A = this chain, B = another copy of it.
Amino acid sequence: MTDRSGTIERLTELLGDRLSTGSSVREMHGRDEAWTPTALPDAVAFPESTEEVSRIVAICAADGCPVIPFGIGTSLEGHVIPVRGGISIDTSRMNKVLEIHDADLDAVVQPGVTRSQLNDELRASGLMFTVDPGADATLGGMAATRASGTNAVRYGTMRETVLALEVVLADGTVIETGTRAKKSSAGYDLTRLFVGSEGTLGIITKLTVRLHGVPERISAATATFPTVAAAVDTVILAIQSGLPMARIELLDEVMMQGMTLANPDMSFPEVPHLFLEFHGTETGVEEQVAAFREIAEEFGAGDFAWATNTEDRNRLWQARHNAYYACKALRPGTAAMVTDVCVPISALADCIAASKTAIEDAGLIAPLVGHVGDGNFHLSILIDPDAPDELRRAQGLAHAVNRLALEHGGTVTGEHGVGSGKMKYMEEEHGPAWAVMGSIKRALDPHGILNPGKIVPGN
């Protein structure tokens, strides 16, 4: 264990009691929602400005001490775990919405702002922030992991949503990666390089994000399908027909059992479902709904249940967002290990079918949800955390699903990111391109202090 007392002393001079070495604070910053082994930071810093982040990083750089940015700890692959100790930089005190530009449909925020906080502050403007991972994550964390969610099929992921970033580099230098102009061809796309870099290239201290107008009419529904394949075929044809679906989510029959158990006030038939949302004008939504019904019925869709008012709609999507927790009701006392893969939509039905066979082979319960309009799906593998054999089988199942995604021309993570959990697939997914990531990392962080052990080879 490296002695960091000198670094901690210098950081305490800068931050006073906003540098914490207390064990409970360190423990909170030593884990996320992944199954990765925890590891403690030496201390946790709570900066209040970009200037402070810059000075923290400069101090750590001088000492060769790792720095790990921390949003709210909802990442799912061990992104924020300080595998080599060091300083966890908690951005929770940098939580201001700095600017809202109505005419430009963008906002400038600090990294600790959460998505629900931003949407609350936008309420009066008639605008909305559309990226919605299940958790109420911070925007800094969402940018760092290239997060997406249920709306990405229509409005894009953080890749499309972040217009520009302010970033503190490995030596403390502060850069801006773009302007508020909607497009630019002025050199390398540093914004997109930092989005998804998981704190390994710099610390995000400010974000300019795109907003969208709240549509005149929003209509949500659930629809039942005889098989998962029928639901997926419906999705393919809907997307191919150019239907501008705002949300199109698959929940398999196992997940629907869990949903019913966890939401006693909402009763669902235990068959595969699509959860749907349509955005547009009054007549536009009516048209979309009619066109969608026609496609869905072609594939044997049964009941449509409509959430007609805002309250019902919110309840529906809250239930969907809570699916990760809900499904534990299928086997009380268990924990869920979550996988995340994404394939070309034409390969989705096959990949899901093969995954369901792998679930049977593993003898485990693993409900499936998917942002299927993007070809992205998750399993929540339910296990007794105290049964080593189940943990092994669950890990084997997760591994099998990741392999299936690669075999189907896809990626081992559609939205959760690499963290520590997906490192083992990087070489296979990227081939020699992985070494290019390593070269970029060494160029920007030659001493390897930025969230070491993540994303790149030999880091």
Contacts and interface: CB of A to CB of B under 8 A. Distances in A.
A183 B148 contact: yes
A132 to B, nearest CB: 14
Given A105-B239, A426-B187, A193 B196 contact: no
Contact of A187 (B101, B160, B291, B437): B437
Interface in A167-197: 169, 173-190, 192-193, 195-197
Interface stretch (A246-254, A280-288, A330-338): A280-288
Contact of A437 (B190, B242, B417): B190
A376 B184 CA distance: 9
Given A104-B344, A213-B241, A242-B213, A187 B181 contact: no
Most buried by B among A197, A201, A242: A242
Contacts of A440: 188, 193, 440, 443-444
Given A185-B416, A196-B188, A444 B436 contact: yes
Interface string A273-302: 000000011011001000100000000000
A342 B182 contact: yes
Nearest to A244: B244
Interface in A210-229: 212-213, 215-216
Nearest to A173: B432
Interface in A443-457: 443-444, 455-456
Contacts of A411: 178-179, 181, 183-186
Contacts of A340: 185
A430 B174 CA distance: 11
A281 B292 CA distance: 13
A90 interface: no
A194 to B, nearest CB: 9
A48 to B, nearest CB: 22
A219 to B, nearest CB: 15
Interface in A391-432: 409-418, 422, 425-426, 429-432
B187 A374 contact: no
A426 B106 CA distance: 24
Contact of A192 (B169, B189, B239, B291): B189
B439 A183 contact: no
Given A173-B432, A174-B432, A346-B104, A414 B192 contact: no
A102 interface: yes
B179 A409 contact: yes
Most buried by B among A160, A196, A291, A416: A196
A157 B186 CA distance: 14
A18 interface: no
A218 B78 CA distance: 48
A286 B376 CA distance: 34
Given A179-B411, A342-B182, A374-B183, A188 B455 contact: yes
A433 interface: yes
A422 B185 CA distance: 10
Nearest to A191: B192
Contacts of A180: 344, 409-410
A182 B434 contact: no
A436 B287 contact: no
Nearest to A237: B103
A264 to B, nearest CB: 34
A43 B443 CA distance: 33
A128 to B, nearest CB: 11
Nearest to A425: B186
A240 B103 contact: yes
A202 B410 CA distance: 24
A256 interface: no
A11 interface: no
- Which 8 residue pairs are nearest across A and B when measured between Cβ atoms? A192-B192, A443-B443, A213-B242, A184-B411, A103-B346, A175-B433, A185-B417, A181-B342
8 contacts: A101-B346, A181-B410, A182-B342, A182-B345, A185-B417, A186-B430, A187-B418, A436-B444
Interface of A: 101-106, 145-148, 152, 156-157, 159-160, 169, 173-190, 192-193, 195-197, 201, 212-213, 215-216, 236, 239-242, 244, 280-281, 283-284, 287, 291, 340, 342-346, 374-376, 409-418, 422, 425-426, 429-434, 436-437, 439-440, 442-444, 455-456
